[in-house]
A and B are shown apart, each in its own frame.
Chain A
Amino acid sequence: MEKFKSIIRDYPFIAFIIAFVILAFVPSVVFTDVYQSHLATLIFVNIVVAAGLNIVKGYCGQVTVGHVGLFAVGSYTAGTLFLYLGLGFWATLPIAIIVTAFFGVAMGIPSFRLEGPYLALATLGGGEAIRLFIENGNFFRSTFGISDIPTPSLMGYNFDSPDRYYFISMTIMIIAVYFSFSILRSGVGRAFMSIREDPICAAAAGINVKKYKILAFILSAMFAGAAGAVYAHMPPGYIHPNNYTVIEMVTFLAMVVLGGLGHIWGGIIGAIVITIVYDLTRPLYKYQLLIFGLTIVLTILFMPKGLGGFIDRYFLEKRFKKKTGTEKKT
């Protein structure tokens, strides 16, 4: 066991490969109908977005409310590339990631000057501008949405149903989470955190604040772009501007906040919980937003580090007791 632990510590991607193998067996063992695979794909897409959002918001502390705009850029890059050039998933995914990265730069530039709620307003404007731009141009087929975006196929095998597409979304999710994991665990993640806590002190400690801020925005935009492309190609392959409103943004925020801002697994836990709750409460759709808004407020009030922080706290206190032999007063 000890040896296994040290191997995982040196080569964390082995843990991800194990996770991959386990998840690959989930559909055949656990799922009872196709809808559950569809839901799983949605969870994976949300995990990718939330992991990206956690980088910029949880770690770097830049309050962005325009992330859904970047998600839309990813989706619509994939959609229009298919519509006008007939490109498939394997071409649109990387292009969508790159295009969204550029939009991420644009979204991040205001953060040089603005902070907190002011930055939130600026990015909210940015996200909405993207959506309105898509909605009001016939170029993007705004009225009817882009439909029949093809599912990817690999070596003659077409991932054309939700239970097959599951594998595509899962792979992308694992890769994305792995990247976010290794970025945040390294010195880069630490630099992000110190910018969140105190930009002036971070600068005095040798961290290039502007560079790291824009890096956080680019990284999270790339995550959102990848998620957007996966979402666009998801069967039945239909995207419409109405899927990228502020309401979706609130859902993304709820995921990151509930999971734990600045917690390495925060976005992932939150994405799983919120997506499942969102789906179970569909009959109560009138109250969903109310509930999510309330979730954000209550979590920030009573559990500022979210579920992830809550779990961490438990283990930390246990270890502290063991080490010092005293009970820590909190």
Chain B
Amino acid sequence: MILKTKQLSKSFGGLKAINKVDFELPKNEIRGIIGPNGSGKSTFFNLVSGIYDSDPGSYIEFDGHDITFTPPHEIASYGLSRTFQLLRLYQDMTVIDNVMSGYHTRVPYKFFDAVIGRKKIWDQERAIKEEMMELLSFVGLADYAELNASELSGGQRRLLVLARAIAMKPKLLMLDEPAAGLSPVNVDNLMKIIMQLKEKYGLTLIIIEHILKVVMDTCNSVTVFDHGQKIAEGTPAQVKDDNAVIEAYLGKKMDDEEMRKALAV
């Protein structure tokens, strides 16, 4: 198990955004998380990556480390990387700087070496830059490396955010709606890139996505959230036919008697 949560809860005032979720994720799996808006998917990500503190009684374990009360930057250094729904691109930095800043946890030198400006630093910086350029050309952004991130198009931004999250060579990558706002062709392209990256880096993935086609096609297993609770889990096919899931998305299925009553009023 690379990620494990027990009784994970988070409330904002009276609202239970996440309510006692037990979640387990084996290595090398692609897990999809779906659910209606406001069902707690993003909150779940924020709790796991340490951006929110979870409520007392929760327990989160990542790759053998107890990360329940660990600050986000330490969690990242254990090898957990994520993207954000609203991208959170570094707008005023160049594309290559964006990706290189994702490398931070792997930077090999110490601060004082950097102050003195030893040769070793510049060599290593150049090596990092080369590696990151390779990553950029892999996602198809190499030509734009020196432009500001704010000058990229929507689809390119999605790719850049993905590259930045990969740069730290994570063990677990959590993608928050990677394909939101993309055209069908771009979605296919993005998913292809994600699959290739998974193979290349041996990633475990969690994907929040509203485009069900993406989830059904790529994920090994799917977890469904509703009102902060986990309502279903299983292979895509199982989940698709789950009554609780259908109810969450479409409403309850009525039998004939109920239907007649509803129509009679």
Contacts and interface: CB of A to CB of B under 8 A. Distances in A.
Interface in B62-97: 71-73, 76-77, 81-82, 84, 88-93, 97
B151 to A, nearest CB: 8
Contacts of A190: 97, 100-101, 104
B88 to A, nearest CB: 4
B117 A205 contact: no
B90 A201 contact: yes
B93 A182 contact: no
A168 B8 CA distance: 61
B76 A186 contact: no
Contacts of A201: 84, 88, 90
Nearest to B106: A206
Contacts of A323: 143
Contact of A182 (B84, B107, B115): B115
A182 B112 CA distance: 10
A208 interface: yes
B1 interface: no
Interface in B88-138: 88-93, 97, 100-105, 107, 109, 111, 114-117, 119, 121-123, 125, 128
A209 to B, nearest CB: 7
Interface residues of A, number: 38
A181 interface: yes
Interface residues of B, number: 43
Contacts of A273: none
Contact of A197 (B73, B92, B105, B122): B92
Interface stretch (A6-14, A102-110, A228-236): A6-14
A186 B129 CA distance: 11
Contact of B104 (A13, A191, A215, A319): A191
Contacts of A321: none
A205 B143 contact: no
Question: Which 4 pairs between the two chains have the least Cβ-Cβ distance?
Answer: A182-B117, A206-B76, A206-B105, A186-B114
Interface of A: 9-13, 178-179, 181-183, 185-188, 190-191, 193-194, 196-198, 200-209, 215, 262, 316, 319-320, 323-324
Interface of B: 49-51, 71-73, 76-77, 81-82, 84, 88-93, 97, 100-105, 107, 109, 111, 114-117, 119, 121-123, 125, 128, 143, 146-147, 164-165, 168
